[in-house]
Amino acid sequence: MKDTPARRRLPTLRWAASAGIAILMALGQAGPAVAGAKVPGTKCPLFPDNGYWQARVDRLKVHKRSTQWMSNMSPDRDLHPDFGPSYGAQSVPYGIPITIVDSGHKTVRVTFDFADESDNVRYPLGNDTKVEGGQWEDGDRHTVVVNKDNCRLYETWATVKDGNRWSAGSGATWKLESNKLRPYDWTSADAAGLPILPGLLSYGEVKRGKIRHAVRFTTNVTDRTFVWPARHHAGSVDNRAYPPMGARFRLKKSFKIDKSLRKDTRAILKAFKKYGLVLADNGSPWYFQGTQDKRWPDGLLNELKAVPASAFEAVNTKPMKVRSNSFKVKKRYRN
């Protein structure tokens, strides 16, 4: 189980159990953010192919603060896939849930703790909404909802339903066909102000060996800064030797991907070299996220847990940027 500190600007850290996800309409068959992919059963892209999540980082230089950041990110640990069987610890597998709706779905008003940084629109939430950890259990309680008719993504954090009233810590929406970022210094359902959906691994893409996007991950202590395309921080220290929100890491070129490893393990490690990891939230060091799926094999998860965090390095993403308010990247870094 993952322990996750509070991600907003709070004086103390909140530790909570990570949780599970449920995916509607076989989302796991396609996989988030694969170039050219669409949300199954919809015409909606999983963000534009020329954007940040699909950008390759194997052509970038190592960040000048890579050694400092790594030294403050528990480099003695191994990776930890934050998805897979819960072995009875909760009612659903670990992961982050995705629900597909249409424009006929009822929408509700949501009261936000961080209303000044949330999108105060009506959200398509209901009893059918899948909630991280199981419906209305403890934990981060993320919801990720896609309206297949207008290609709008809705995400909430710390979601609670009390009778007919809905509340959440924060909420954000994106148009899946757009590279537009959130307003500067605004949070989202993630501390970094980024969308959750495109940073999730799925069973389908891993099985096919076609992972073409970066993956969301966490660490426990971050600086009170953020770097493009992140829009927000939830750091607990004022120290540039600690990583900022939005920092991107890759598996070092020198790391040998042994041929004796499973095919699906090798596919993920190759993606970590080409697309890397995005620091999107506070939580346990080197926990990376995927969708809930009962088919995740123990053999894969166990091999991933043996990969040392010290095999990663931070990269300088500035050369990729086209504009400060856009996910769009320069042609050299596109798939």
Position 28 scores a pLDDT of 41
In whole angstroms, what is the distance from residue 93 CA to residue 85 CA?
Answer: 5
More confident residue, 41 or 156: 156
- With vertex at residue 44, the alpha carbon angle to CA 38 and CA 49, rounded to the nearest 5 degrees, is 60
Q: What per-residue confidence (pLDDT) applies to 135?
A: 83
Pairing relationship of beta strands 277-282 and 215-219 according to DSSP bridges: parallel
- Is the pLDDT confidence value at 30 over 70? no
pLDDT at 294: 86
Q: Is 82 exposed, middle or buried (0-12, 13-18, 19+ CB in 10 A)?
A: buried
**How far is it, in rounded angstroms, from Cα 216 to Cα 248?**
9
Query: Stretch 87-114: mean pLDDT, rounded?
Result: 93
pLDDT of residue 202: 86
Residue given tokens 């950008």 in the structure block: 55
pLDDT of 36 reads 58
The mean pLDDT value for 293-318 works out to: 96
pLDDT (tens digit, 9 = 90+) per residue, 121-152? 999 999 999 999 988 788 899 999 999 999 99
DSSP 181: P
Query: Would the pLDDT of 335 be above 90?
Result: no
* 12 pLDDT above the threshold of 50: no
pLDDT band at 37 (very low <50, low <70, confident <90, very high): low
- Average of per-residue pLDDT values in the chain: 89
Q: Is the pLDDT of residue 41 over 80?
A: no
pLDDT band (50, 70, 90) for residue 39: low
How much of the chain exceeds pLDDT 90, in percent?
79
SS3 call for 197: helix
What's the pTM value of the predicted model, to 2 decimals? 0.88
Three-state DSSP class for residue 151 = coil
How many CB atoms within 10 Å of residue 3? 15
Distance separating alpha carbons of residues 181 and 179, to the nearest angstrom: 6
Q: What is the band of 38 on the pLDDT scale with cuts at 50, 70, 90? A: low
The region of weakest confidence among 49-58, 104-113, 195-204, 233-242 is: 195-204
- Residues 253-305: tens digit of each pLDDT: 999 999 999 999 999 999 999 999 999 999 999 999 998 888 999 999 999 99
> For the segment 50-100, what is each residue's pLDDT rounded down to a tens digit?
999 999 999 999 999 999 999 999 999 999 999 999 998 998 999 988 899
Q: How many CB atoms lie within 10 A of CB 106?
A: 11
Confidence of residue 29 (pLDDT cuts 50, 70, 90): very low
- Pairing mode, if any, of strands 152-157 and 170-175? antiparallel
pLDDT of 14 over the 60 cut: no
In this prediction, residue 20 carries a pLDDT of 37
CA distance 272 to 55: 12
DSSP 20: B
Structural tokens at position 236: 């607990």
CB 5 within 8 Å of CB 284? no
Is the per-residue pLDDT at 217 higher than 50?
A: yes
Among 286, 287, 285, 248, smallest CA distance to 95 is for 287
Shortest CA distance to 314 belongs to which of 282, 270, 271, 278? Answer: 278
Q: How far is CA 66 from the centre of its chain?
A: 21
